[in-house]
Amino acid sequence: MRQLDVRGEICPYPMMRTVEALKKLPPDEGLEVLTDHPPALSTIPWEAAKLGYEATLEEAGPSEWKITLQKTAGPARKPADVMADLNRQLATLSIEE
């Protein structure tokens, strides 16, 4: 699992750097993204889903989060399903903008 630290960066840079890193990953490898920018918790999973990745969100510290991206097994998910899953995960996190 590779890691990408985008703490201290604001949109659109965390998402852009993540997409760039995902495009270079071998198909069997995942990516952990560390961020402290709340909007990235939505933009990164959404863009990653377009590339066939699923996202898991978790708190990594005060006002810091880890987004774990793994290649989706099976067919690509519908955008509505990706957003529903993302909203469920976001509801469990402590986010103050």
Q: 27-65: b or e for each residue (b if 16 or more CB lie within 10 Å)?
A: eeebbbbbbbbeebbbbbbebbbeebbbbebeeeeeeeb
Annotation marks residue 47 as catalytic: no
Per the residue annotation, which of 2, 9, 11, 77 is the catalytic one?
11
Residues identified as active-site: 11
